[in-house]
């Protein structure tokens, strides 16, 4: 059987394996050909937690008037058994657990936590602020202790 794959690097290709459709794109558009379009997009950042800190800025900012749909926080690797478990995903200088305040990922184990975004992530207006994202975590607990963390946020816009 043939599996259809659409990705940013290769475009539309066929692969062996289970029958199905896999989309590996950072932008997915829905339109009826007239009027506004709905776009699903991805923000992604890979960062390292640092000893002596409890927050790490991600260096990515959602656009104004976008809505968080879901997220994934992954521990890719760790150094010297850090204690800095990831606990929240939110906005720098704002609501630090807006996207999720219920993350519980062990900083020393390769793992992930995909989930839908909390309703509060879109604020009273229904939209996220155009503010840099950040994760909250426990202090890694010693010199050179750290975790490499990849954060992915799926958001939507209407244009």
Domains of the chain, earliest start first: 43-154 (2.60.120)
pTM for the predicted model, two decimal places = 0.80
Of the candidates 92, 89, 98, the residue with the CA atom closest to the CA atom of residue 61: 92
Please give the residue that has the higher pLDDT: either 107 or 33: 107
Q: Name the CA dihedral angle for 89, 73, 101, 123, rounded to a multiple of 10 degrees.
A: 50
What does the pLDDT read at residue 45? 96
Of the candidates 77, 5, 7, 11, the residue with the CA atom closest to the CA atom of residue 42: 7
- pLDDT tens-digit map of 66-83: 999 999 999 999 988 888
CA 55, CA 8: separation in Å to the nearest integer?
A: 31
Please give the residue that has the higher pLDDT: either 110 or 10: 110
Please give the residue that has the higher pLDDT: either 53 or 10: 53
What does the pLDDT read at residue 52? 86
């Amino acid at each position: 059987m043939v599996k259809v794959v659409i990705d940013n690097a290769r475009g539309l290709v066929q692969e062996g394996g289970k029958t199905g459709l896999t989309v590996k794109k950072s932008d997915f558009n829905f339109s009826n050909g007239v009027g506004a379009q709905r776009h699903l997009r991805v923000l992604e950042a890979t960062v390292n937690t640092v000893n002596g800190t409890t927050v790490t800025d991600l260096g990515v900012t959602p656009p104004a008037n976008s809505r968080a749909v879901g997220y994934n926080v992954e521990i890719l690797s760790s150094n010297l058994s850090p204690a800095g478990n990831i606990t929240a995903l939110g906005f720098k200088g704002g609501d630090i657990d807006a996207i999720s305040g219920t993350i519980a990922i062990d900083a020393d184990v390769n793992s992930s936590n995909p989930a839908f975004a909390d309703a509060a992530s879109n604020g009273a207006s229904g939209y996220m602020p155009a503010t840099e994202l950040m994760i909250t975590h426990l202090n890694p607990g010693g010199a050179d202790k750290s975790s490499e963390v990849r954060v992915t946020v799926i958001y939507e816009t209407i244009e």
